[in-house]
Amino acid sequence: MKPSFRPARGRSYIAFYKPFEVLCQFSEEKESGEEKKTTLAAFDFPASVYPVGRLDYDSEGLLLLSDDGRMTRELFEGREHPRTYLVQVERVPEAAQLLQLEKGVLLQGVKTRPAKVKLLTDEPQIEERCKPIRFRKSVPTAWLELTLWEGKNRQVRRMTAHVGHPTLRLLRVSIGQLRLSDLGLKCGQWRSLSPEEVLKIFA
Protein backbone atom coordinates (compact mmCIF):
# COMPACT_ATOMS: atom_id res chain seq x y z
CA MET A 1 0.00 0.00 0.00
CA LYS A 2 1.33 3.44 -0.95
CA PRO A 3 1.78 5.92 1.93
CA SER A 4 -1.32 8.07 2.35
CA PHE A 5 0.72 11.14 3.30
CA ARG A 6 3.43 12.98 1.39
CA PRO A 7 5.62 15.60 3.10
CA ALA A 8 5.31 19.09 1.66
CA ARG A 9 8.29 21.12 0.54
CA GLY A 10 9.11 23.93 2.95
CA ARG A 11 7.32 22.34 5.91
CA SER A 12 9.04 21.17 9.11
CA TYR A 13 8.81 17.59 10.40
CA ILE A 14 10.62 16.96 13.67
CA ALA A 15 11.25 13.94 15.91
CA PHE A 16 11.84 14.67 19.60
CA TYR A 17 12.93 12.29 22.35
CA LYS A 18 10.68 13.70 25.06
CA PRO A 19 12.06 13.39 28.58
CA PHE A 20 10.11 12.50 31.71
CA GLU A 21 8.20 15.41 33.29
CA VAL A 22 7.89 17.63 30.23
CA LEU A 23 4.50 19.04 29.20
CA CYS A 24 3.55 18.57 25.53
CA GLN A 25 2.74 22.24 25.07
CA PHE A 26 4.69 25.47 24.72
CA SER A 27 3.02 27.51 27.45
CA GLU A 28 2.31 26.49 31.01
CA GLU A 29 -1.06 26.97 32.62
CA LYS A 30 0.02 27.06 36.24
CA GLU A 31 -2.25 27.46 39.21
CA SER A 32 -1.08 29.81 41.94
CA GLY A 33 1.37 28.07 44.26
CA GLU A 34 2.03 25.15 41.90
CA GLU A 35 5.60 24.16 41.06
CA LYS A 36 6.74 25.38 37.63
CA LYS A 37 6.79 22.60 35.02
CA THR A 38 9.07 22.23 32.00
CA THR A 39 7.36 22.73 28.63
CA LEU A 40 8.42 22.29 25.01
CA ALA A 41 9.54 25.94 25.04
CA ALA A 42 12.72 24.80 26.83
CA PHE A 43 14.03 22.92 23.77
CA ASP A 44 14.47 25.67 21.13
CA PHE A 45 12.14 24.29 18.48
CA PRO A 46 11.38 26.36 15.36
CA ALA A 47 8.70 28.92 16.17
CA SER A 48 6.18 27.54 13.68
CA VAL A 49 5.89 23.92 14.90
CA TYR A 50 3.46 22.35 17.33
CA PRO A 51 3.17 18.81 18.76
CA VAL A 52 1.45 16.20 16.61
CA GLY A 53 -0.42 14.22 19.24
CA ARG A 54 0.95 14.14 22.75
CA LEU A 55 2.72 12.18 25.44
CA ASP A 56 1.72 12.48 29.08
CA TYR A 57 3.84 14.59 31.42
CA ASP A 58 5.20 11.47 33.10
CA SER A 59 5.81 9.51 29.87
CA GLU A 60 8.89 9.55 27.64
CA GLY A 61 9.88 8.79 24.09
CA LEU A 62 9.08 9.67 20.49
CA LEU A 63 7.06 12.84 19.93
CA LEU A 64 6.46 14.41 16.53
CA LEU A 65 6.24 18.15 15.86
CA SER A 66 5.33 19.90 12.63
CA ASP A 67 3.87 23.01 11.04
CA ASP A 68 1.91 20.87 8.57
CA GLY A 69 -1.67 20.46 9.77
CA ARG A 70 -2.21 17.60 7.34
CA MET A 71 0.02 15.38 9.48
CA THR A 72 -2.23 15.68 12.52
CA ARG A 73 -5.34 15.03 10.45
CA GLU A 74 -3.81 11.99 8.79
CA LEU A 75 -2.54 10.43 12.02
CA PHE A 76 -5.66 10.97 14.08
CA GLU A 77 -8.52 11.27 11.58
CA GLY A 78 -7.28 9.07 8.74
CA ARG A 79 -6.55 5.37 8.76
CA GLU A 80 -5.09 3.81 11.89
CA HIS A 81 -1.33 3.98 12.49
CA PRO A 82 0.37 1.81 15.12
CA ARG A 83 2.18 3.28 18.11
CA THR A 84 4.49 1.03 20.12
CA TYR A 85 5.47 1.49 23.76
CA LEU A 86 7.85 -0.09 26.24
CA VAL A 87 5.99 -0.41 29.53
CA GLN A 88 7.47 -1.33 32.90
CA VAL A 89 4.79 -2.71 35.22
CA GLU A 90 4.51 -3.98 38.76
CA ARG A 91 4.74 -7.76 39.00
CA VAL A 92 4.98 -10.20 36.11
CA PRO A 93 1.71 -10.56 34.18
CA GLU A 94 0.43 -14.04 33.50
CA ALA A 95 -0.88 -15.24 30.15
CA ALA A 96 -4.47 -14.40 31.15
CA GLN A 97 -3.63 -10.73 31.80
CA LEU A 98 -1.68 -10.46 28.55
CA LEU A 99 -4.64 -11.91 26.66
CA GLN A 100 -6.94 -9.35 28.29
CA LEU A 101 -4.73 -6.54 27.04
CA GLU A 102 -4.62 -8.05 23.57
CA LYS A 103 -8.38 -8.50 23.28
CA GLY A 104 -9.24 -5.15 24.84
CA VAL A 105 -10.39 -4.01 28.27
CA LEU A 106 -13.30 -1.88 29.42
CA LEU A 107 -12.30 1.67 30.33
CA GLN A 108 -15.23 3.74 31.59
CA GLY A 109 -17.63 1.45 29.77
CA VAL A 110 -15.80 1.56 26.42
CA LYS A 111 -13.74 -1.40 25.25
CA THR A 112 -10.28 -0.67 23.90
CA ARG A 113 -9.39 -1.97 20.46
CA PRO A 114 -7.33 -5.15 20.13
CA ALA A 115 -3.64 -4.56 20.85
CA LYS A 116 -0.39 -6.40 20.30
CA VAL A 117 1.34 -7.38 23.56
CA LYS A 118 4.67 -9.07 24.22
CA LEU A 119 6.23 -9.91 27.60
CA LEU A 120 9.94 -9.16 27.28
CA THR A 121 12.37 -11.69 28.74
CA ASP A 122 15.22 -9.16 28.98
CA GLU A 123 15.21 -5.58 30.22
CA PRO A 124 15.31 -3.21 27.22
CA GLN A 125 18.47 -1.22 26.54
CA ILE A 126 17.20 2.31 27.10
CA GLU A 127 18.49 5.41 28.86
CA GLU A 128 18.06 5.70 32.61
CA ARG A 129 15.26 8.04 33.58
CA CYS A 130 16.25 11.40 35.06
CA LYS A 131 14.23 10.49 38.15
CA PRO A 132 14.35 6.83 39.22
CA ILE A 133 11.02 5.02 39.20
CA ARG A 134 9.30 4.43 42.51
CA PHE A 135 8.96 0.74 43.16
CA ARG A 136 8.77 -1.61 46.10
CA LYS A 137 11.84 -3.79 46.53
CA SER A 138 9.63 -6.71 47.56
CA VAL A 139 7.58 -6.49 44.35
CA PRO A 140 9.13 -7.66 41.05
CA THR A 141 8.64 -5.70 37.85
CA ALA A 142 8.33 -6.70 34.19
CA TRP A 143 8.64 -5.03 30.79
CA LEU A 144 5.99 -5.23 28.09
CA GLU A 145 6.08 -4.19 24.46
CA LEU A 146 2.61 -2.86 23.67
CA THR A 147 1.33 -1.70 20.27
CA LEU A 148 -1.92 0.29 20.01
CA TRP A 149 -3.92 1.53 17.05
CA GLU A 150 -5.73 4.22 19.05
CA GLY A 151 -4.80 6.87 21.60
CA LYS A 152 -7.24 7.48 24.43
CA ASN A 153 -6.19 9.67 27.36
CA ARG A 154 -3.58 7.83 29.49
CA GLN A 155 -4.70 4.65 27.79
CA VAL A 156 -1.65 2.46 28.43
CA ARG A 157 -1.58 3.26 32.13
CA ARG A 158 -5.30 2.67 32.48
CA MET A 159 -5.11 -0.63 30.59
CA THR A 160 -2.29 -2.09 32.69
CA ALA A 161 -3.93 -0.90 35.92
CA HIS A 162 -7.19 -2.56 34.82
CA VAL A 163 -5.50 -5.97 34.67
CA GLY A 164 -3.75 -5.45 38.01
CA HIS A 165 -0.30 -4.31 36.86
CA PRO A 166 0.23 -0.57 37.40
CA THR A 167 2.61 1.16 35.00
CA LEU A 168 5.88 2.35 36.52
CA ARG A 169 7.58 3.66 33.38
CA LEU A 170 6.28 4.33 29.87
CA LEU A 171 8.35 5.03 26.75
CA ARG A 172 6.99 5.40 23.21
CA VAL A 173 9.49 3.78 20.86
CA SER A 174 7.81 3.99 17.45
CA ILE A 175 5.04 5.58 15.40
CA GLY A 176 4.25 3.61 12.27
CA GLN A 177 7.61 2.33 11.05
CA LEU A 178 9.55 5.31 12.44
CA ARG A 179 11.59 3.94 15.35
CA LEU A 180 13.21 6.04 18.05
CA SER A 181 16.21 3.69 18.11
CA ASP A 182 16.97 4.50 14.44
CA LEU A 183 17.05 8.28 14.92
CA GLY A 184 20.28 8.64 16.89
CA LEU A 185 18.64 10.83 19.54
CA LYS A 186 19.43 11.02 23.22
CA CYS A 187 16.78 12.01 25.73
CA GLY A 188 15.95 15.71 25.29
CA GLN A 189 17.31 15.92 21.74
CA TRP A 190 15.42 16.54 18.49
CA ARG A 191 16.15 16.67 14.79
CA SER A 192 14.41 17.25 11.50
CA LEU A 193 13.19 14.21 9.60
CA SER A 194 14.02 13.47 5.99
CA PRO A 195 11.13 12.95 3.55
CA GLU A 196 11.92 9.21 3.62
CA GLU A 197 11.67 9.15 7.41
CA VAL A 198 8.35 11.02 7.34
CA LEU A 199 6.97 8.38 4.98
CA LYS A 200 7.87 5.67 7.51
CA ILE A 201 5.33 7.17 9.93
CA PHE A 202 2.54 6.38 7.49
CA ALA A 203 3.92 3.15 6.00
DSSP characters for 30-51? --TTPPP-EEGGGG---TT-EE
- Single out the catalytic residue among 56, 58, 67, 68: 56
* 68 in active site: no
DSSP characters for the chain? ---S--PPTT--EEEEEEPTTEESSSS----TTPPP-EEGGGG---TT-EEES---TT-EEEEEEES-HHHHHHHHHSS---EEEEEEEESPPPHHHHHHHHH--EETTEEPPP-EEEE-SS----PPPSSPPP--TTS-EEEEEEEES---TTHHHHHHHHTT--EEEEEEEEETTEEGGGTTPPTT-EEEPPHHHHHHHT-
Q: Contact at 8 Å (CB) between 101 and 159? A: yes
Which active-site residues does the annotation give? 56
